[in-house]
């Protein structure tokens, strides 16, 4: 089941706020719609002081009620030192130790105990401990990520790597992990941050990232989106535009610093969201495979890591991070899938994460097998001449339609065609190739296909 979270957030005015997932999402939504009050505004920007996960909404709500009762505040609490302040909080004499009180803190990372001080007063003491019981599966996240990196050959020892850093939990975690692996791979790390300028206070994210990279002794570069010489390839959603801008900026930084790769912090739940986004919009088997560990210059070391494990690591190591308000907005399809679809699937079966990953790996195996078959067929019906590949049309059109599409896609790729290819576009090319006679078909302002008798070649237009 997807974890339900209880947060203690540091607010803009320096105060602290206790809230659960639904409550935070509601306030973020009100703020984005411009209907929030000054209290809502003071919630932004936020920094997570403490986060605890629960199996259900009911459990989290009960924990929130208890915690607010203890701090004797209904909505907002002032704590001098965040979670450390709660450790020394003194209970009211009338509040007695109870089973429900225990259940809130009885987790793998936090337990509670009530002690009588020497003066006879009740004092609440919360201390963080590691769960050592045999029924809790313990694993080393660093070792798991290292194994994934080596299995997929993601990092070349001695290389320079750009780390995409937003300041959020995922990219902050990624930077810490790469810092731990820096000596083993002799890495030269550069953290890169793009300020989209979509929030008034987005400049505070830059300050946070500067402080973080200074602490880790990692070089930090940043830019503002409005200052980039950027022209979007296509008009899509706001989310897609942001992705295009980041890609442009990261590639520019990689070129400037001669970096071997750009590291992104996509994790298992990002994979799940991408899978359903593509399923909703319609896609191929290749699309359902979702994000790959290596995609050109981009690498993704966290693709099989659970978000809950990332948050637990940050909590246990007392690492602060930023919370992006747009992550709670229902304006974005990805957020709607995260809060509605994935939550429902987790509620149906708590094995969803592991079963999804296993299914995705089956799809990858199938895709890899088909790709080998496509390459074999292509080598049988294509002949290399100078810088071109002549395709035998009779042999191509004799193939199964599925293989036809895959071979044409591979043919265009081998010919150096770099623009985005859609299924409709590939079908248009097939119709052209099926027509009798010699002719030419422009497929792009830079590319055309020339058909002569039973052969076809892709030509770049200079």
Quick check: 413 and 407 in contact, CB under 8 A? no
Domain end position, chosen among 128, 161, 183: 128
Give the residue with greater pLDDT, 460 vs 291.
291
Report whether pLDDT(303) > 80: yes
Angle formed by the axes of helices 21-32 and 57-70, to 10°? 90
Report whether pLDDT(182) > 90: yes
Q: Are residues 146 and 227 in the same domain?
A: yes
Quick check: 17 and 77 in contact, CB under 8 A? yes
Kindly tell me the burial class for residue 172, based on how many C-beta atoms sit within 10 Å of its own C-beta (0-12, 13-18, 19 or more): buried
Distance CA 25, CA 324 (A): 11
Q: Are residues 56 and 102 in the same domain?
A: yes
270-300 confidence digits (pLDDT tens) = 999 999 999 998 888 888 999 999 998 999 9
Report whether pLDDT(301) > 70: yes
Distance CA 299, CA 308 (A): 21
What CATH number did the domain enclosing 189 receive? 3.40.50.620
Look at residue 97 and tell me if it is in a domain: yes
Between CA 233 and CA 238, with CA 234 as vertex, the angle to 5 degrees is 110
Q: Are residues 151 and 299 in the same domain?
A: yes
Q: Residue 458's CB: how many other CB atoms inside 10 A? A: 21
Domain end position, chosen among 83, 102, 128: 128
Query: If residue 163 lies in a helix (H) or strand (E), which one and from where to where?
Result: strand 160-164
Report whether pLDDT(216) > 70: yes
**CA dist 398 to 372, 382, 401, 455, Å?**
19, 14, 9, 14
Quick check: 49 and 83 in contact, CB under 8 A? yes
Q: Are residues 14 and 59 in the same domain?
A: yes
The total domain count for the chain is 3
Report whether pLDDT(434) > 50: yes
Distance CA 361, CA 359 (A): 5
Q: Residue 252's CB: how many other CB atoms inside 10 A? A: 17
Q: Are residues 84 and 22 in the same domain?
A: yes
Q: Which domain holds residue 381?
A: 365-460
Q: In percent, how much of the chain has pLDDT > 70? A: 68
Q: Are residues 153 and 81 in the same domain?
A: no
Look at residue 332 and tell me if it is in a domain: no
Q: Are residues 195 and 258 in the same domain?
A: yes
Q: Are residues 203 and 263 in the same domain?
A: yes
Distance CA 415, CA 458 (A): 6
Look at residue 337 and tell me if it is in a domain: no
Look at residue 434 and tell me if it is in a domain: yes
Which whole number is the average pLDDT over 97-116? Answer: 31
Domain end position, chosen among 256, 291, 319: 319
What's the confidence (pLDDT) of residue 191? 97
Look at residue 172 and tell me if it is in a domain: yes
Distance CA 68, CA 271 (A): 36
Look at residue 310 and tell me if it is in a domain: yes
Task: Give the pLDDT band (50/70/90) at residue 180.
Answer: very high
Give the residue with greater pLDDT, 367 vs 50.
367
Among 15-19, 117-121, 204-208, 250-254, where is mean pLDDT lowest? Answer: 117-121
Look at residue 330 and tell me if it is in a domain: no
Distance CA 462, CA 445 (A): 10
Q: pTM of whole model > 0.85?
A: no
Q: Are residues 315 and 194 in the same domain?
A: yes
Q: Report the residue count for the chain.
A: 462
Look at residue 350 and tell me if it is in a domain: no
385-396 confidence digits (pLDDT tens) = 877 899 999 999
Report whether pLDDT(268) > 60: yes
Average pLDDT, the chain: 76
Distance CA 428, CA 418 (A): 18
DSSP-assigned letter for residue 341: I
Distance CA 134, CA 266 (A): 31
Quick check: 41 and 12 in contact, CB under 8 A? yes
Task: Give the pLDDT band (50/70/90) at residue 153.
Answer: very high
Which whole number is the average pLDDT over 91-97? Answer: 28
Report whether pLDDT(460) > 80: yes
Give the residue with greater pLDDT, 450 vs 80.
450
Report whether pLDDT(378) > 80: yes
What CATH number did the domain enclosing 455 receive? 3.30.465.60
Q: Are residues 34 and 78 in the same domain?
A: yes
Residue 151: strand, helix, or coil? helix
Q: Are residues 148 and 116 in the same domain?
A: no
Q: Are residues 166 and 309 in the same domain?
A: yes
Sign of CA dihedral 328, 287, 296, 266: positive
Give the residue with greater pLDDT, 240 vs 53.
240
């Amino acid at each position: 089941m997807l974890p339900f979270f209880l947060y203690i957030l540091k607010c803009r005015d320096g105060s602290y706020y206790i809230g659960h997932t639904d409550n935070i999402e509601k306030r973020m939504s009100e703020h984005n719609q411009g209907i929030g009050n000054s209290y809502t505004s003071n919630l932004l920007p936020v920094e997570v002081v403490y986060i605890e996960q629960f199996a259900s909404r009911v459990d989290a709500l009960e924990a929130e009620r208890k915690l607010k009762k203890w701090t004797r505040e209904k909505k907002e609490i002032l704590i001098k030192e965040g979670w450390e302040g709660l450790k020394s909080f003194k209970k009211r004499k009338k509040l007695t130790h109870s089973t429900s009180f225990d259940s809130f803190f009885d987790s793998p990372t936090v337990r509670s105990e009530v002690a009588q001080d020497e003066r006879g007063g009740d004092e609440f003491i919360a201390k963080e401990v590691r769960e050592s019981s045999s029924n809790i599966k313990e694993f080393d996240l660093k070792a798991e990520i290292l194994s994934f990196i080596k299995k997929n050959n993601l990092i070349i020892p001695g290389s320079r790597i750009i780390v995409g850093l937003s300041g959020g939990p995922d990219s902050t975690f990624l930077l810490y992990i790469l810092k731990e692996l820096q000596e083993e791979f002799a890495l030269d790390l550069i953290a890169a941050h793009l300020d989209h300028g979509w929030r008034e206070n987005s400049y505070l994210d830059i300050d946070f990232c500067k402080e973080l990279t200074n602490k880790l002794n990692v070089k930090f570069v940043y830019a503002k989106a409005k200052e980039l010489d950027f022209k979007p390839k296509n008009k899509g959603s706001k989310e897609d535009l942001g992705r295009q801008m980041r890609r442009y900026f990261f590639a520019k930084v990689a070129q400037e610093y001669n970096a071997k790769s750009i590291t992104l912090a996509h994790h298992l739940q990002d994979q799940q969201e991408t899978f359903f986004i593509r399923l909703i919009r319609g896609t191929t088997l290749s699309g359902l495979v979702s994000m790959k560990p290596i995609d050109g210059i981009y690498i993704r070391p966290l693709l099989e890591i659970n978000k809950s494990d990332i948050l637990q690591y940050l909590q246990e190591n007392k690492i602060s991070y930023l919370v992006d308000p747009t992550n709670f907005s229902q304006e974005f399809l990805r957020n709607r899938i995260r809060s509605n679809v994935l939550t429902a699937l987790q509620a149906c079966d708590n094995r969803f994460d592991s079963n999804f990953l296993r299914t995705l790996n089956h799809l990858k195996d199938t895709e890899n097998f088909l790709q080998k078959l496509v390459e074999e067929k292509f080598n049988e019906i294509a002949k290399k001449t100078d810088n071109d590949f002549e395709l035998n049309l009779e042999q191509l059109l004799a193939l199964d339609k599925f293989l036809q599409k895959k071979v044409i896609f591979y043919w265009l790729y081998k010919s150096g065609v770099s623009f985005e290819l859609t299924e409709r576009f590939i079908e248009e090319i097939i119709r052209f190739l099926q027509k009798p006679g010699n002719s030419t078909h422009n497929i792009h302002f830079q590319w055309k296909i020339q058909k002569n008798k039973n052969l076809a070649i892709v030509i770049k237009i200079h």
